[in-house]
Chain A
Amino acid sequence: MNNTTTIPGIKKRFVPLKIFIVVLVFVGLGLFPFMSGNRFYISMINEMMIYGLLAMSLDVLLGYTGALSFMHNAYLGISAYVVGLFLIHISPASLWMACFAGIIFTSIVALPVGWVQVRTGGLAFALLTLAFGMMFHTIVWKWYDVTGGDDGLMGMPNPDITLFGWKLGSTGDPLAMYLFTLVIAAICFFLTRRIINSPFGAVLEAIRENEDRASFIGINVRRYKLLGWMLACLLAGISGALFILYKGYIGPSTMSAFAGAGVLMMVLLGGLGSLWGAFVGAAIFIYIQDYISTMTEHWEIFLGLVVIFLVLFLPTGFVGLGDHLKRFRKG
């Protein structure tokens, strides 16, 4: 199947099988809302897709560039606030303009932060992301007249969604919002996969593998880490725009340190270094958190135990399970 004499991409085995599965999943998700019609599951999967996109953006940073960010959800928050404020104050109908403004603003904020971040490495990088994240959280929480402080953004209109000229319905209607999220998430997923497999993606992986050696083969490590950071923040910005359109609300608690660690959990649950693993991790994490918290008041105890169990006994996460099993088979 794989002829080493020709010039192959090494990971090209089982290509048709993988494409078939991905298309199957995409069509399945697409048809789901029409079949089941139960609004709770539609909005739950919608939320899973949004957080999956955010987890994927963190995986670009952690799984591919080897940089740990504690509060990647801060950039979801910034973009959501800008989109919300744009819709409330500037023009309530122009959905695409608002999303565009949100993402651009997030990137503008992420650039100087990224420039400072890449000057550090390892644990210092992670703790610096905590510092910046908490700074944004506190600013958003204190700037009462603009962001509504602890109550979050109030008075979000429900603009109409027009996708490639086709009017889906307003963001208030869960079905339209579901399809909008699905399409945007799919586009981001395929583009990110493309970028990860591009020469630029290869440089990120080299930096993850061995930052020192990377600079000794001529890679300007700081510049590429910054580009990786910007890509991750851009994707987080997109998930932020989707978040506020879907939920109609954004508050400081979504940008808190604990929500940040939650996103990190999703990536690890899904398995590092696999983009669609992040979506699986997000789905599992959201289900566990909601399911356990309805079961008992003391849901924190069980969530803690689940986390400890996963890290001790299932290090590579659910998607990573494959490699785990393969290794066993080899004996």
Chain B
Amino acid sequence: MKRFITVSLSLMIAVLLFAPQQVFAAKPVKIGVLVPLTGIVAQGGLEMKYGIEMAAEEKGTVLGRPIELIVEDTRVKPPVAVTKAEKLVYKDDCKALIGVFSSGVGLALSKNIDKLNVPFVSTHVMTTKFYGLHPLVFRSGQLANDQTAVGNVKGILARPDLKDRTYYVIVHDYSWGHDAGERFIALAKENGIKVYNDTYDKAPIKTKDWSSYISKIKASGADGVYMAFITNVIPAFAKQTSDFGLQGKVKLVSAAAPGPLELEAGGEACHGIFGASDWAWDVDNANSNDWEMRFWKKFNTIPSDAAVHSYVGAMNLFNAIEKAGSTDAKAIADALRGISFDGPYGNVRISAKDNCMRNSAVLTETMAAPENPFGAKVYMKVLKTFTADELGPPE
């Protein structure tokens, strides 16, 4: 018996070693993907990775060469992301970087972009600091804070039941949160929307127990909350406000679109969250519906805005490399300026003026989901669509 095992083992190893190496027609074009796979936003990072993988598969080849994605986990920590970017560019010889969830990581990466000397397309960073930050740094993904603020303020003004509420502003304590908070307060004041606290509350990202913040909101008597939280914390905050019996009385307006998976977990308590976002699977057009089904079949997770942004961002990047005709950093960057792609949420164009995308967006409110192929119980219903120029910024 013992002999039999050793023989079969050696056979197996032999097969493994001499398996026919896949003969490459030509050297692949390597693209570095930087997404958070651990830490608080791991779910968002996973969905971003799916979006980019889907784009690479559907695009197939660039400049006649296969696309090879090398994925690295940023752990939402800027120093880690910089080290991983160095590895992707120097060791794996990647021609471009894509992804990045948080503004902190995005800004740290942009600081080192001269050393790395490759184009960087961020697909989820919302900080307004990205406008014209660096000739090699682009944004093609989530709405920036100013665009979301415009969308939300216009949405509030259009709704009589929201117009005259006083809003209590509470943000996650990092650059995106501060930026989103300040933008909304400034714009709300211009349009006569009552804001309870001009100096917005800053909550640590790792906050789990929101009871003391909710008691503050109850004590303030405000009947609306403008929250700038990371996507997967929104349902948790909503659930705890409903635990405290505030769901009917206090209206939640969000600066970022809640993740669908997290909405499912939140369930009943997550109804009534109001906010602007690029896309939700309730958007009804041929391109969007077709994309949703392809995504659902391939990954069996509810299609989310994090996935669709990364998909569109990746397509823009691949088309730019195709247009540039070479993998030279400057050529790709020039090609990226002004490029556009007709994706699930309409035409997404990267403005030549400030390297950031312009695209249409939707105003949504979460409620019980109708019959849908994904088995989702809660969904973001589309109330209104904004055109790109409505959200600005002017070019």
Contact = CB atoms under 8 A, between A and B. Distances in A.
Contacts of B103: 151
Contact of B90 (A38, A47, A151, A249): A38
B87 A294 contact: yes
A293 B38 CA distance: 10
Given A38-B90, A47-B83, A150-B205, A172 B114 contact: yes
A222 interface: no
Q: Is the interface of A mostly helix, strand, loop or mixed?
A: helix
Interface residues of B, number: 31
A150 B174 contact: yes
A43 B107 CA distance: 20
A255 to B, nearest CB: 11
Contacts of A293: 73, 75
A98 B75 CA distance: 30
Nearest to B174: A150
B82 interface: yes
Interface string A169-205: 0001010000000000000000000000000000000
A315 B91 CA distance: 34
Given A40-B87, A149-B175, A156-B111, A297 B82 contact: no
Interface residues of A, number: 32
Given A149-B175, A154-B107, A300-B38, A251 B73 contact: no
Interface in B154-197: 173-175, 178
Interface string A141-169: 11010001111101110000000000000
B78 A251 contact: yes
B79 interface: yes
A290 B78 CA distance: 15
B84 to A, nearest CB: 8
Interface of B: 37-38, 72-73, 75, 77-80, 82-84, 86-87, 90-91, 103-104, 107-108, 111-112, 114-115, 173-175, 178, 202, 204-205
15 contacts: A38-B91, A40-B91, A47-B83, A144-B202, A149-B174, A149-B175, A151-B107, A152-B104, A156-B111, A251-B104, A253-B79, A290-B83, A293-B75, A294-B73, A294-B87
Closest 6 CB pairs of A and B: A40-B90, A150-B174, A151-B104, A40-B91, A39-B90, A253-B77
